[in-house]
Structure formats: C-alpha cells, structure tokens
C-alpha cells in the first residue's frame, strides 16, 4: 500500500471516501418556523445506554446557526428509492420541502416519510471538530423499515448487498483439477439462473400450447405493436430464434396476432386474445420475480438488477432499444 509522503487535502478526501457510509437527511425547524434540512453522510452511533448518535456539519454551512441554536433534530436514513431526495437536500435552495409529505413527530422538526430508519433526537452536546461542528444527540424515538438503505462510496451512490457468512457453493464437490469449467464461470451462472427463472413460465407456455419462440414474439408485440416480420426479427434475433412467416401464420391461426397492411408488406398486431395471453405470461413472470426478491431481500434484488444492466451495457453488440419512442 502506497503511503502519502506529504499531506494532500484532496488525496485525504479521496482516502476518506473509500469508507462506505449510509446517506442521511438531518432536519430541524428554525425559530421562525421554517423547515430546515441537509444531506449528510457523517452520521454514526455513539452509545446504546444512553442512546446517543452523532453527526457533523461544516462551519461554513448556512444552516449551522439554526442547528446550533435548536434543541431538536431528526435523522433520516435514506432508502435506495430516495436518491433524488438526497440530491435535493444536498443543494442550496429555499423549496427543499415543497410537495413533501411529513409525519408528526415528538418535536417540531420535520419528519420525512418512507425512510429506512428515523431517529428523533434532542441535542445533548456540541463539540468543535476542526472545520466542522459535531452534534451529539440523545435519541428520544426511532423507527425502521425493511427498505434497502442507500449507500455512498468514493463520491458515488452505491447499493449495499449482503455477503454470506461462509463461501457460497452450488456444487457439493469441487471439479477435478484438469477441468477448467467451474461453477464460478459467469456464463454458467447466468445460464442456470435464466433457465431456473423461466421454469414456471415454460409450464404456463405448455398449458397455453405455446413455446418460447411464440413467447418472444408476443412479448415484442406487447411492447411495440404493428411491426413487420423483419422488425420483429430485429428484436428477437439475439435469442437465437428466427421468426418466419410460418411462425406468424401459426399465431394468426391461434387468434393471437392479426395482419394489417398488404400481403406483400404485412404488419402484425396483437389481437385482444393475444394481448391477454401475453399479459398472463407477464403476470407470472412478475410473480416469480416477487417471490425471488422476497428470498434475496429488496436490497440484494435491486443490486442484482443494477449489475445485470451494467453487464448488458458492457457486452451489448448494438441491439436496438425495444422501448425507444417510435
């Protein structure tokens, strides 16, 4: 590890940023009754008995006189859905609380909703801390939810995911030394997860007397109706399936799609039956996702989606955007 030979303030800030923290909004009420709130990631616990927490505020902050003279303030540990709220309270402005619903607390300090945790505090001590003032508060009331917390690391928002206590392995025995195909191969993990996730869908498709090929076609038309055969293939080809005129005739006979336009240049739309069939498939897919999210936990489920989107973006060969406006 390289050590700094001279004290560089920016390098010091960067080093401090490697420490992952939660994101909080601290609120209080000014003497004129106006609500005050700021974003802070300096929040920490101090003591369980008595229940004490602390946070710090720069001496240059415009809100410092309000907090130093006030007796009560509330700490809101933000959830992952509240990133825009964090950005709003990090900016200087007079309308931070505009259109925000508040709960009633034990003091007049604003109490935000939908947080991961909230601590209603009374100022116990104030200390000088270099270019900051450190506020220590006695916790008078608190509450928490199962919402995943928003994190902050190296100057960026982050998602916290749980690490298993022991190494997680799918196989009961390690592969032989001469085999380089292991369960840690990303392609294997993605492929196995894909097929396990679609198991219930395959059973539904069987009951509907359809297959995965038809599922892809109906899904595309459910999102983006009135497409030509070549346009459908543009969105389906990455799956390895090729949609033919015979594919569409089969779905037409099942009253799932209808043909518009001329026979020379047909365009395909979902029928009412086709849309209902596709929505049944979507409802099942969402139910499977909700069940999986409950097992993973909301934080891990959201982190998984973020990582998958990053993986897709990093490996994208240039596929068209199915949801782009026409």
Give per-residue pLDDT as tens, 252-267: 999 999 999 877 889 9
The answer to whether residue 3 is domain-embedded is: no
Burial of 117 (0-12, 13-18, 19+ CB in 10 A): middle
Q: Which pLDDT belongs to residue 13? A: 82
Q: Is residue 325 part of a domain?
A: no
Which CATH number is 106's domain given? 2.30.110.10
Within this chain, do residues 56 and 148 fall inside the same structural domain, yes or no?
Answer: yes
Q: Within this chain, do residues 198 and 278 fall inside the same structural domain, yes or no?
A: yes
Percent of the chain's residues with pLDDT above 70: 96
pLDDT for 163 beyond 90: no
Q: Report yes or no on 320 lying in a domain.
A: no
Q: Same structural domain for residues 214 and 154?
A: no
Q: Residue 220's domain spans which residues?
A: 186-311
Q: How far apart are the C-alpha atoms of 213 and 192, rounded to whole Å?
A: 19
User: Tokens in use for 213?
Assistant: 């090929």
Judgement on whether residues 192 and 254 belong to the same structural domain of the protein: yes
pLDDT tens-place string over residues 90-128 = 988 778 999 999 999 999 999 999 999 999 999 999 999
pLDDT of 1 above 60: no
User: 275-285 burial by CB neighbour count: b if 16+ within 10 A, else e?
Assistant: bebbeebeeeb
140 shares its domain with 266: no
Structure tokens at 140: 């008078």
The string of DSSP codes covering 153-173 is ETTEEEE--PPPSS---SSSS
- In a shared domain, residues 245 and 290: yes
Reduced to 3 states, what is the DSSP secondary structure of residue 294?
helix
Report phi then psi at 195, rounded to 5. Answer: -70, -35
Residue 221, Cβ density class (10 Å: 0-12 exposed, 13-18 middle, ≥19 buried): buried
Instruction: Note whether residue 283 is domain-resident.
Output: yes
**By the 8 A CB rule, do 229 and 268 touch?**
yes
Of 159, 175, 208, which residue sits at a domain end? Answer: 159
The residue-averaged pLDDT of 145-169 equals 83
The verdict on 141 and 213 lying in the same domain is: no
Cis previous bond, 50, omega within 30: yes
Mean pLDDT of the chain: 90
Integer angstrom CA distances of residue 138 from 111, 150, 271, 309:
16, 24, 63, 42
Q: Confidence band (pLDDT; 50, 70, 90) for 165? A: confident
**Alpha carbon distance 35, 96 (integer Å):** 9
Task: Please give the sequence-ordered ranges of beta strands (E in DSSP) within the chain, or none if there are none.
Answer: 21-22, 24-29, 35-40, 44-47, 52-58, 72-77, 102-103, 111-112, 117-129, 132-144, 150-153, 156-159, 257-260, 267-270
Residues 148 and 206 in one domain: no
Specify the pLDDT at position 199.
94
Could you give the CA distance from residue 163 to residue 169 in angstroms, rounded to a whole number? 13
* Average pLDDT of span 2-25: 80
Q: How confident is the model over 162-184, as a mean pLDDT?
A: 73
Instruction: Kindly tell me the burial class for residue 301, based on how many C-beta atoms sit within 10 Å of its own C-beta (0-12, 13-18, 19 or more).
Output: middle
- Tell me, yes or no, whether 326 lies in a domain: no
Mean pLDDT of 271-282: 96
CATH number of the domain within which 272 lies: 1.10.10.10
pLDDT at 60 > cutoff 60: yes
Residues 74 and 154 in one domain: yes
Residues 39 and 140 in one domain: yes
- What is the structure's pLDDT at 5? 56
- Residue 151 counted as domain residue: yes
Q: Is residue 9 part of a domain?
A: no
Half-sphere exposure of 137 (CA within 13 A, CB side): 28
Average pLDDT over residues 272-290: 95
Is the residue at 180 inside a domain?
Answer: no
In the structure encoding, which two tokens stand for residue 261, read together?
Answer: 């336009």
Tell me, yes or no, whether 197 and 140 share the same domain: no
Of 283, 281, 287, 289, nearest in space to 215 by CA = 281
125 plus 27 within the same structural domain: yes
Domain boundary among 159, 176, 196: 159
Which of 36, 53, 24 lies closest to 137, judged by CA?
53
Q: What is the pLDDT of residue 17?
A: 83
Give pLDDT, residue 265: 85
67-85 burial code (b ≥16 CB/10 A, e <16): beebebbbbbbbbbebeeb
> Scanning the structure block, which residue is given the tokens 């097929």?
195
Structure tokens, 243: 């949609």
Domain count, the chain: 2
List, in order, residues 6 or more apart from 154 with CB less than 8 Å away. Answer: 14, 17, 18
Q: What is the pLDDT of residue 19?
A: 84
- Answer with the one of 108, 140, 159 that is the final residue of a domain: 159
- Residue 173 has a pLDDT of 74
């Amino acid at each position: 590890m390289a050590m700094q030979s001279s004290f560089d303030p920016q390098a010091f800030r960067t080093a401090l940023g490697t420490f992952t923290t939660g994101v909080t909004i601290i609120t209080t009420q000014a003497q004129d009754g106006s609500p005050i709130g700021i974003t802070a990631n300096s929040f920490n616990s101090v003591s369980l008995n008595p229940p004490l927490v602390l946070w710090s505020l720069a001496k240059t902050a415009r809100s410092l006189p309000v907090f130093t003279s006030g007796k009560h303030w509330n700490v809101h540990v933000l959830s992952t859905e509240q990133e825009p709220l964090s950005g709003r309270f990090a900016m200087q402005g007079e309308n931070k609380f505009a259109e925000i619903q508040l709960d009633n607390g034990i003091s007049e300090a604003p109490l935000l909703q939908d947080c991961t945790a909230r601590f209603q505090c009374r100022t116990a001590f104030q200390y000088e801390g270099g270019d900051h003032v450190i506020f220590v508060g006695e916790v008078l009331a608190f509450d928490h939810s199962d919402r995943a917390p928003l994190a902050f690391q190296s100057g960026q928002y982050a998602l916290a995911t749980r690490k298993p206590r022991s190494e997680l392995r799918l196989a009961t025995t390690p592969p032989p030394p001469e085999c380089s195909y292991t369960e840690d191969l990303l392609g294997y993990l993605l492929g196995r997860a894909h097929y396990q996730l679609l198991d219930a869908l395959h059973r539904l498709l069987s009951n509907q007397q359809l297959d995965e090929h038809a599922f892809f076609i109906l899904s595309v038309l459910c999102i983006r109706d009135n497409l030509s055969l070549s346009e459908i293939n543009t969105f389906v080809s990455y799956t390895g399936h090729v949609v033919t005129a015979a594919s569409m005739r089969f779905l037409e006979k099942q009253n799932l799609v209808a043909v518009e336009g001329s026979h020379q240049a047909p365009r395909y739309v979902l029928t009412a039956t086709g849309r209902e069939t596709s929505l049944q498939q979507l409802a099942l897919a969402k139910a499977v996702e909700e069940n999986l999210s409950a097992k993973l936990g909301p934080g891990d489920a959201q982190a998984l989606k973020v990582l998958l989107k990053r993986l897709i973006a990093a490996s994208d060969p240039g596929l068209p955007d199915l949801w782009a406006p026409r």
